[in-house]
């Protein structure tokens, strides 16, 4: 399973990239709004940091296929690594089909059922993004959805990649890897949590103490 970082915060993207563990970035309208910066400006900066797929979503207020197609074409022009993120609606599927036929990569987002994922794949989506944490939030095990989609895609030889999204903690990450997600898109705070273990810290402290006791600083 590969990792993308799920944020529009440039400092966090730089930190995750320097760590060497991510190969892409996902953003959404809420994450872009949180930064309070112009969409094109922030996406261009992100694309200059990470050499891999960068998902930029069509405007939250654009609900018709034609509008999404026009915006998708503009987003694709920002950088060769751009992936157009499109909501899972009938209009979104129509837009996905057209953009895919033009060779533009798409990430169908807000996927909450296996059938939605299957439809998105058949429309030509490069990626589908099932939202794990938001299902957990309503007492529905999100990981079951990731596992089911992975099984269906495997059985039918579907090449669309599964981006496990709405990942909220390190246990989600391990579960996504076991469930067969191709990619987990993870907030920087969770990547940091994943690096930590108290026994690692204790081990470092002991090695330092033992070394210093004999050799000094
Ligand atoms: C996915 O692409 C979304 O940006 C994100 O993972 C949503 O996460 P949230 O449910 O924690 O907002």
Q: What is the pLDDT of residues 71-113, one digit of tens each?
A: 999 999 999 999 999 999 999 999 999 999 999 999 999 999 9
Residue 85, both tokens: 């993120």
Q: Which residues are catalytic?
A: 85
Domains of the chain: 2-215 (3.20.20.70)
pLDDT of residue 130: 98
Q: What is the pLDDT of residues 133-185, one digit of tens each?
A: 999 999 999 999 999 999 999 999 999 999 999 999 999 999 999 999 999 99
**Alpha-carbon gap, residue 93 to 180, rounded angstroms:** 24
Q: What angle do CA 132, 53, 50 make, to 5 degrees?
A: 110
Summarize the confidence of residues 16-38 as an average pLDDT.
97
ipTM: 0.96
Mutational test site, ligand 1, from 6, 27, 161, 185, max ligand atoms within 8 Å of CB: 6
Report the candidate in 134, 130, 123 with the shortest Cα–Cα distance to residue 148: 130
**Ranges of H-type helices in the chain:** 10-19, 29-35, 39-49, 65-78, 90-101, 114-122, 132-137, 142-155, 170-179, 188-195, 198-215
pTM, two decimal places: 0.96
User: Is 7 close to ligand 1, i.e. is its CB under 6 Å away?
Assistant: no
φ, ψ of residue 160 to 5 degrees: the values are: -55, 135
User: Is 14 close to ligand 1, i.e. is its CB under 6 Å away?
Assistant: no
Q: How many CB atoms within 10 Å of residue 182? A: 16
> Residue with the nearest Cα to atom 11 of ligand 1?
166
What does the DSSP 8-state code read for residue 55? E
């Amino acid at each position: 399973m590969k990792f993308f970082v799920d944020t529009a915060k440039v400092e966090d993207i730089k930190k995750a990239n320097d760590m060497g563990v991510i190969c892409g970035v996902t953003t959404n309208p809420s994450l872009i709004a949180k930064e309070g910066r112009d969409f094109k400006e922030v996406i261009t900066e992100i694309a200059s940091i990470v050499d891999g797929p960068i998902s930029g979503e069509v405007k939250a207020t654009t609900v018709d296929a034609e509008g999404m197609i026009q915006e998708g074409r503009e987003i694709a022009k920002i950088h060769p690594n751009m992936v157009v993120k499109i909501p899972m609606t009938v209009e979104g599927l129509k837009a996905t089909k057209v953009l895919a036929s033009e060779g533009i990569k798409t990430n169908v987002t807000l996927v909450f059922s296996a059938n939605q994922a299957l439809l998105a794949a058949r429309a030509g989506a490069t990626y589908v993004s099932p939202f794990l944490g938001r299902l957990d939030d309503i007492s529905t095990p999100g990981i079951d959805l990731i596992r089911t989609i992975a099984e269906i895609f495997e059985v039918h030889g579907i090449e669309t990649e599964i981006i496990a999204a709405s990942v909220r903690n390190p246990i989600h990450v391990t579960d996504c890897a076991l469930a067969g997600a191709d990619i987990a898109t993870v907030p920087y705070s969770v990547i940091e949590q994943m690096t930590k273990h108290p026994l690692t810290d204790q081990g470092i402290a002991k090695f330092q103490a033992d070394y210093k006791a004999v050799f000094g600083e």
